[in-house]
Amino acid sequence: MPFNMKPWEFLLIVALILLLFGAKRLPDAARGLGRSLRIFKAETKAMHDDDAGPGDAGETSAPAAPPAISQNTAASAPEQQQPSTTPAPERTET
């Protein structure tokens, strides 16, 4: 048994858990814990893959250079008309 527990001690702990949470809530709790652990595992794997980088993964291609931004592109872009921020006139009853 884990942690040098005797079988009757293990059964006592299981009985206490059943009494505290109830038999109906335990499957839902276990399901939620399983989902959480699955998400945690996927995130840590993704973080490890991100840390590895292209050099560690065996890729030999050089990273692509970012596109050059010219000064003329901002001037030649058509201006977008901003919506009017003036409030509509209030209606008065006559």
Structure tokens at 70: 């010219």
Domain ranges of the chain: 24-53
Model pLDDT, residue 93: 72
Residue 54 makes CB contacts below 8 A (sequence gap 6+) with: 61, 63
Q: 0.85 exceeded by the pTM? A: no
Which residue carries 């399983």 as its tokens?
34
Reading the chain (94 residues) residue by residue, the pLDDT tens digits are 457 888 899 899 989 988 888 888 888 989 999 999 999 999 999 998 888 766 554 455 555 665 656 555 545 555 556 666 666 677 777 6
Sign of dihedral through CA atoms 35, 38, 42, 44? positive
Cα–Cα separations (whole angstroms), residue 7 to 14, 21, 22, 63? 11, 21, 22, 59
Model pLDDT, residue 32: 94
